[in-house]
Amino acid sequence: MRKLVIIAALAVFGFSANAQEGLKAGINLGLPVGDAGDVSGFSIGLDVWYHWAVSDDFNAGVATGFSNAFGKSVDIGIGSIDVPDVQFIPVAASGRFNASDEFTIGADLGYAVGLNDGNDGGFYYRPIVGYGVSDNIELSLSYTGISLDGATWSTINLGVNFGL
């Protein structure tokens, strides 16, 4: 199943990389919160998505990317352990509503494939708000949640996106 999801993610990325209309890519920095904040100090992510215009104010499409949360040293009372990095590749449906000429509101929903040992991934959701600085540059604020087996991996992200 994991191999199938990875192949699907690569197919989405490959399709998006060849398309020109609606293709965007971005980078974000994240602050892990909740369960994730206990074992990670910060994260960095890359995003790629392709949107089609459904109407004048709504776009829908596909999204993928990569995120790496850097593990930290955790005190366990009798010493400390170094937590390894936590990595995901999301594969999601994506939608954006143009609230005004500058602001967008949207969400990505799908599955985040876990890449590191012991990380099976889980349901992925990411509400996002964007502010257009120019025609091809957007600042974004988002919350990423991944429902894992018995926990939730969550980050609050600040990013910059570029129209390609």
53 strand-pairing partners? 59
pLDDT tens-place string over residues 84-126: 999 999 999 999 999 999 999 999 999 999 999 989 999 999 9
**What pLDDT, on a 0 to 100 scale, did the predictor assign at position 135?**
87
Rounded CA separation 161/66 (Å): 14
Positions in the chain whose pLDDT score sits under 70: 1-21
pLDDT at 1: 52
Smallest CA-to-CA distance from 90 within 73, 112, 120 is with 112
Count Cα atoms within 13 angstroms, Cβ side, for 109. Answer: 5
pLDDT of residue 150: 85
Question: Nearest to residue 155, comparing CAs of 141, 145, 164, 147?
Answer: 145
What's residue 17's pLDDT?
38
The second-level CATH assignment, the architecture, of 2-163 is Beta Barrel (2.40)
pLDDT score at 18: 35
**Pair of tokens at residue 119:** 């990380």
Domain ranges within the chain, ordered by starting residue: 2-163
